Amino acid sequence: MQRFKPHSVIHSHCDKTKSCKSCFSTLFKFEEMQEIVKNFTVVHVDAPGQEDGAAIYPAGYQYATMDQISDMLPTVLQYFNFRTIIGVGVGAGAYILSKFTLSNPEAVEGLVLINVDTNSRGWMDWAAQKLSNLTSSLTDQILSHLFSQEEMSANTELIQTHRERVSKAPNLINIELFWKSYQGRRDLDIERNNTFKCPVMLVVGDQAPYEEAAVSLYIISSRFISLHMADAGGMPQLTQPSKLTEAFKYFIQGMGYMASSCMTRLSRSRTTSLSSSYSMEGSRSRSRTLSQGSQGGQLPPSPSHTMEVSC
């Protein structure tokens, strides 16, 4: 696999039932997103056994814990010689990136966490899951993680598409192992004295199952920006790529990237400037425009590479 020079990197980590290629293809292939990705290397990282064409794990296979998957990420960065990343994660992928960022704060410049839940399951959740294991199929359990009851009732076409994707997945055994690993996640204990050192954008759909978890995380730190997306549901990267692209562009502009790029219509409509949240962050206040980051004021060679790798 080709090695690239260190430069700005967008690192994505996907949720269950999808490889990162399918999870983020709608977003990263979206027309307005091309202005962003042409300036970055985009690396999609799949959890073990979740990539397209993955070999099926044998019976009794001991799958990695969420902590162990997170601990695999430094190897990926080291292999490609990436010093820092901007992380984008959905669901379980957002949890994994959160754990990685807490353990390696110097390696993460910013985080976009979509429908994240950094808490472990409580006793009520544990009991409900035990009952669900007895009464519901794996497909139904995963769908209830991805979508709210309201969304499953209102958007039958989308739900049926994902139902078929899960139930007919050739690596369903691997998906089940990943699902169980996520269900056994530990509490990351994020609080005011133990939180992220980088800017974080929390994205949640207005009908997402983890809406409450995202809101409770938002109030912990002034570094957090919350993007509550109407009509987005459990997969805003698929259902609202335009709005998410605009928000993401403004987020990285607040970090000092793409400073010369025109404001989007979303950012112009904001009554409160999101970038003001970062103007007070001394450690992140330096400008990182592409022209300033290269020698002689010239733009560096285009780093618009996209890769998909598996832990």
> Is residue 75 domain-resident?
yes
Q: How far apart are CA 85 and CA 110, in angstroms?
A: 7
Q: What is the pLDDT of residue 22?
A: 67
> Is residue 132 domain-resident?
yes
Q: What is the pLDDT of residue 201?
A: 93
**Cβ pair 237, 24 in contact under 8 A:** yes
Q: What is the pLDDT of residue 121?
A: 64
> Is residue 266 domain-resident?
yes
Q: How far apart are CA 87 and CA 255, in angstroms?
A: 13
Containing structural domain, residue 236: 9-310
Q: What is the pTM of this model?
A: 0.79
DSSP-derived secondary structure for 65-111: PHHHHHHHHHHHHHHHT---EEEEEETHHHHHHHHHHHH-GGGEEEE
> Is residue 3 domain-resident?
no
> Is residue 4 domain-resident?
no
Q: What is the pLDDT of residues 137-191, one digit of tens each?
A: 899 888 888 887 788 888 788 889 889 988 999 999 999 999 999 999 999 988 8
CATH number at residue 132: 3.40.50.1820
> How many separate domains does the chain show?
1
DSSP letter assigned to residue 63 = P
> Is residue 22 domain-resident?
yes
> Is residue 247 domain-resident?
yes
- Residue 93 neighbours by CB distance under 10 Å: 31
**Cβ pair 206, 199 in contact under 8 A:** no
Dig out the tokens for 272 from the structure: 């409160």
Q: What is the pLDDT of residue 299?
A: 32
Q: How far apart are CA 17 and CA 93, in angstroms?
A: 11
> Is residue 175 domain-resident?
yes
If the chain, 311 residues long, is cut into consecutive pieces of 10 residues, what is the mean pLDDT of each piece? Answer: 48 68 80 88 91 92 96 93 93 94 95 89 59 72 83 83 90 94 91 84 82 76 80 80 91 87 51 34 35 32 60 70
